[in-house]
Chain A
């Protein structure tokens, strides 16, 4: 039985090949394959090539289901940069790969849990939309947590 190969195209038009039985771990891809047999290239307009390479690396190496948990943890641990992890989480969300999404978000949560507010905003690209007074009022409710 010959293994069928799919071609995925990233946002910046780069092409990646992956075996179909590995690619369908992504629920999004699985649905696409079911619909039109995936004869052509599957475009992924929200995922850049760097991240897609990572996702493909993850999908390719992940084979034994019983080692999944440890593997996916190690996989995200090795890429412990918050921006990379966020991209990865976003791609995993788009492609509907639950384990990868879970692990990436968990890792980010782990990394930022002891950050100061300013650091959180910087890491997650969030703008502060409050005046210092408003911020203090909210903070005072749980002063002990700071």
Chain B
């Protein structure tokens, strides 16, 4: 043997062995020698790597009884394993997972931007992508989708803006930035102009990605169902061709309230229904056949006796759903469990958390993001330096890992952007609202009124999840008022004041402020303009109005003046002209 040892092992054998190593060993063995490092770090290897053996599990994100965000893996044998949650991910909710990446969405929308964290828990790496043109106002609503293209292994984000009130859809000829697609490898957002979803479709926040298709749920208001509501439909988005298509669902589901999940590699429709006898919600599980027919079959109904099922989080490989459930729906805490359809029983997994804080997604490990710097932010090019700075601080507030950091940041935003003037105005409005004609409003957002109809469940699901969501900007919960950008911040302030025991959402939704603002140019646009003014104009324009003054005063004037900003500013098609502009911020 000694003779054999002296010769070097051919590289092809070495690489065959490397391919079969688990991720943790790969990360360590990068320092074995230079060829190993470059092989493991090569984009081809990162994209092609799948662990042996491929282990499927579910990742569940929830808030524990101390309001801490936790993540656990649930394996097929019902073992659970706690994950290390990076600071960036705290305060986000889990949207979905694809090829080893978890897409975590921050609920805070600020100046039409929403932060999305892509997190690979296997290599403990996460990056932030700022999604531009996210609107939540009287007319429009946006939501973000995610998937990794199975061919190129390129993570993609999809942003769709839809008309919030579909009865308006005829008068609105065009939805600005209706669809935007982000590709991580290029760092660019593209705005396709053909083959867009119809304007009459109102999308919901549900989402699942299977293979090359992202599936979305919507209501089509051009075809009303028996209840006089928009017909429920499923829309798919192809990650390879960027095309939308509509998926046929059984007629019986046209009236129903649907959410999506996946079972192995098949699409699952979860039909939320009322059990009138027991007065509680049940979930009918429909699965799409993989063949060409694309028909749906009803598998079973999740209806355990003596327990309330809050949400179906995902499915084990064996087909059993993992659910958030409780014995008593008034207590405000839920438990993680596995529902056994054959027996109609729930197996308790022993994890407790805040009601409605559970999100889940099936997950397999990968090496994606290994070639990205941890914590880097990919921002849209239209940002001026001021907001860049602000977002750097957003990240730092998470670095400290505490909610306090976030609240402080919000205060800064309030003070800097709106100034004391606006604060005062909002306080006045707030005082008005407290007067006797608004006697109600001490309720808490997550109160268990789920019987109040399906739409409400949906809204609640969106709104009650994250205290930040209600505290900072109640609007994500689908509040009905006009919300110009100025008010976005305004709501943040009511949130602060809402601590006095007032229900934040009530206050924000009935703020009359939005009406006053509605005729103004959105604050967002104002900001974009101010950021690009030369210093001399800035100094003059401080007296335009008080918000301008406080914004400009807070603006650190040592930042480069407009010349730099305008060079890459191209609102019409949001493209990063060269990659050096995709700034990476590490900490």
Contacts and interface: CB of A to CB of B under 8 A. Distances in A.
A124 interface: yes
A144 B124 contact: yes
A93 B16 contact: yes
A108 B124 CA distance: 26
A138 B31 contact: yes
Contacts of B12: 93
A124 B123 contact: no
Contacts, number: 90
Nearest to B18: A109
A129 B30 CA distance: 12
Interface string A86-110: 1101100100000001000110111
A121 to B, nearest CB: 6
A28 to B, nearest CB: 15
Determine which residue in A105, A121, A125, A135 has the highest number of CB atoms from chain B within 10 A of its CB, and name it: A105
Interface stretch (A17-25, A66-74, A111-119): A111-119
A105 B27 contact: no
Given A89-B16, A93-B16, A125 B9 contact: yes
A126 B33 contact: yes
A1 interface: no
Given A93-B13, A93-B16, A135 B21 contact: no
B5 A83 contact: yes
A113 B27 contact: no
A88 B16 CA distance: 13
Given A93-B13, A105-B13, A109-B21, A130 B123 contact: no
Interface residues of B, number: 34
Given A106-B20, A113-B22, A125-B9, A138 B14 contact: no
B4 interface: yes
Nearest to B23: A145
A87 B12 CA distance: 13
Contacts of B27: 142, 145
Contacts of A120: 29, 32
A145 B24 CA distance: 6
B8 interface: yes
B27 to A, nearest CB: 4
B52 A106 contact: yes
Contacts of A129: 33-34
A101 B20 CA distance: 12
Given A113-B21, A113-B22, A144-B124, A101 B9 contact: no
Contact of A117 (B20, B32, B52, B84): B32
A78 interface: no
Contacts of B20: 105-106, 108-110
Contacts of B33: 121, 126-130
B9 A86 contact: yes
A111 B83 CA distance: 26
Contacts of A139: 28, 31
B454 interface: no
Nearest to B36: A126
Contact of A135 (B8, B31, B124): B31
A117 B16 contact: no
Q: Counting chain A CB atoms within 10 Å of each CB, which of B1, B22, B32 scores highest?
A: B32
Contacts of A146: 28
Contacts of A89: 13, 16-17
A139 B32 CA distance: 10
B66 to A, nearest CB: 24
Contacts of B278: none
Given A93-B12, A93-B16, A113 B52 contact: no
A87 B21 CA distance: 19
A117 B14 contact: no
Contacts of A142: 27-28, 30, 123-124
Interface in A45-87: 48, 83, 86-87
B30 to A, nearest CB: 6
Contacts of A130: 31, 33-34
A8 to B, nearest CB: 19
Contacts of B52: 106, 109
A114 B9 CA distance: 20
B365 to A, nearest CB: 13
A138 B30 contact: yes
B241 interface: no
A129 B31 CA distance: 9
A108 B12 CA distance: 14
Contact of B31 (A48, A105, A110, A117): A117
A139 B124 CA distance: 14
B542 interface: no
Interface string B25-46: 1011111111011000000000
A112 B28 contact: no
Nearest to A137: B31
Contacts of A105: 13, 16-17, 19-20
A79 to B, nearest CB: 13
B10 interface: yes
A48 B32 CA distance: 28
A87 B17 contact: no
A117 B28 CA distance: 8
Nearest to B25: A113
B568 to A, nearest CB: 31
Contacts of A126: 8-9, 14, 32-33, 36
Interface of A: 48, 83, 86-87, 89-90, 93, 101, 105-106, 108-110, 112-114, 117, 120-121, 124-130, 135, 138-139, 142, 144-146
Given A117-B29, A126-B8, 20 more contacts: A89-B13, A90-B10, A101-B16, A109-B19, A113-B21, A113-B22, A113-B24, A120-B29, A121-B33, A125-B8, A126-B33, A126-B36, A127-B33, A129-B33, A130-B31, A135-B31, A138-B37, A139-B31, A142-B28, A145-B27
21 contacts: A86-B9, A89-B16, A105-B16, A106-B52, A112-B21, A113-B22, A113-B25, A117-B28, A117-B31, A121-B32, A124-B32, A125-B5, A125-B6, A125-B7, A126-B32, A128-B33, A129-B33, A130-B33, A138-B30, A138-B31, A142-B123
Q: Nearest 4 pairs between A and B by C-beta?
A: A109-B20, A145-B27, A113-B25, A142-B27
